Amino acid sequence: MMRMPETRPYHHGDLRAALLAGAERTLRAKGAAALSLRELARETGVSHAAPGRHFKDKQALLDALALTGFERLTHTLEAADDPALPIEERLTALARAYLGFAIDNAALVELMYARKHDPDVSEQLAAAVERTITPFLHLIADAQQRGEIVPGDPERITLLAGAGLHGIAAFTANGTFPPQEALDSIGDVVHHLLHGLRPR
Amino acid sequence: MMRMPETRPYHHGDLRAALLAGAERTLRAKGAAALSLRELARETGVSHAAPGRHFKDKQALLDALALTGFERLTHTLEAADDPALPIEERLTALARAYLGFAIDNAALVELMYARKHDPDVSEQLAAAVERTITPFLHLIADAQQRGEIVPGDPERITLLAGAGLHGIAAFTANGTFPPQEALDSIGDVVHHLLHGLRPR
DNA sequence: ACCTGAACACCGTTCAAGT
DNA sequence: ACCTGAACACCGTTCAAGT
């Protein structure tokens, strides 16, 4: 008979990363409410007390998950940004990337924007949000310099555009809006955001 | 010594309503994650199995809470709507009412827009959302008839405006945006929504 | 019809002890 | 430094039995 490769070593190696990966799998499959630390430990092959070494409690694991979510979203947006594009196309590309991420990672995004109770964590998350919207901020600032966007605090205008986008993503996530329709309408959304709802 | 009014009767009277009220209290005080059916039963003065008579499980109670939330929001919006107002003022008043509700009932609103797993419930919630946005829909349709709003499917334009508003509410709830600042900027938000971000 | 009490199979968290 | 095993105080849900 062949012997199994090796019995599980006492030290896992990178238990923290393994727990985060496992947690995200169940998040995707069954939602945040169904996540159990004990089950996660079983799936990862460690004792139920082991996660406690890496995350002070369950909320800490969820918070860590939210933070990595923002990091990934940030990279997605950076990859989708093309400063050479005309403003409407550039904004549409960014918006499509944001919405695509929100559709593909609905449970994670819900977690990312959930209300937090720990002030330390909400500070970290606020900083992560700041980094995430940087591509939008640059777009707005660039366009303002060219006179293509209304004057005003670029940070506030960015939040406004981001809010519109996030609202669409939220409506899509909770089923008010079918994902395909949302993606198809992204050009319209951006157009209305830029040109307004009043006839001109 | 005075005798206490009466020992608790076997039948509660309206346990269902009492449970919903209690649940919303702890929702407001400690968030949805901290809600325990057993604790709720204790506070309400019934056995821990009693809630099971009125709600099939914990999720059913949360779903019921979300539905009552939409009903209350609907009434709030209807009360705030004044069809006699010029469009920008009318929309601003509705937007202020929505945002005010979202700020005063942050945990409830989070629940209302949470992803659902039961398809029956998401259908009911979709219908509730439909009723909630009716005032916005009327506003858009009225204004379109007067040529004050761009032509196009009024339902879609309403969802667009609603998404922008909801995004602001979400950013406010999760701390990206201080509530007072959000309320103060509501006029700007509506103005940008109507007139767009491009100079005219 | 409505509620109770006991039971079952889970949780999250802590902490001495092991490697 | 990292993990285990046992223990503690909880959960949600079910179901016979009581009023």
Over the stretch A154-178, which tens digit does the pLDDT of each residue have? 999 999 999 999 999 999 988 888 9
Closest nucleotide C1' to the C-alpha of A8:
D3
Cβ atoms A92, A190 nearer than 8 A: yes
Q: CB neighbours of B140 closer than 8 A, spacing ≥ 6?
A: B149, B154, B157, B158, B161
Q: Do A147 and B199 touch (CB under 8 A)?
A: yes
Q: Do B126 and A166 touch (CB under 8 A)?
A: no
Which residues on B lie below 8 Å from A200 (Cβ)? 196, 200
Q: Summarize pLDDT for B127-155 with one digit per residue, the tens.
A: 999 999 999 999 999 999 999 999 999 99
pLDDT in the model for residue B117: 81
The secondary structure of B34-70 as a DSSP string is G--HHHHHHHHTS-TTTHHHH-SSHHHHHHHHHHHHH
Q: Do A148 and B198 touch (CB under 8 A)?
A: yes
pLDDT in the model for residue A5: 35
B11: left (phi over 0), alpha (psi -120 to 50) or beta: beta
Chain D: bases < 7 Å from a protein Cβ: 2-7, 10-16, 18-19
Confidence at A198, pLDDT banded by 50, 70, 90: very high
Number of residue pairs across A and B with CB atoms under 8 Å?
152
Q: Summarize pLDDT for A33-80 with one digit per residue, the tens.
A: 999 999 999 999 999 999 999 999 999 999 999 999 999 999 999 999
The alpha carbon of residue A26 and the mean position of all alpha carbons in its chain are separated, in whole angstroms, by 17
Q: Summarize pLDDT for B112-132 with one digit per residue, the tens.
A: 999 888 889 999 998 999 999
pLDDT of B6 higher than 70? no
Q: How many other β-carbons are positioned within 10 Å of the β-carbon of residue A104? A: 12
pLDDT of B104 higher than 60? yes
pLDDT in the model for residue A176: 85
Taking CA atoms, B165 is separated from A23, A41, A136, in Å, by 32, 41, 19
Angle at A63 between CA A74 and CA B61, to 5 degrees: 115
Mean residue pLDDT of chain A comes to 92
- Whole-structure pTM value: 0.92
Q: Do A193 and B196 touch (CB under 8 A)?
A: yes
Q: CB neighbours of B86 closer than 8 A, spacing ≥ 6?
A: none
Cβ atoms B81, B93 nearer than 8 A: yes
* Nearest-by-Cβ selection for A117 from B31, B160, B185: B31
Closest nucleotide C1' to the C-alpha of A48:
D4
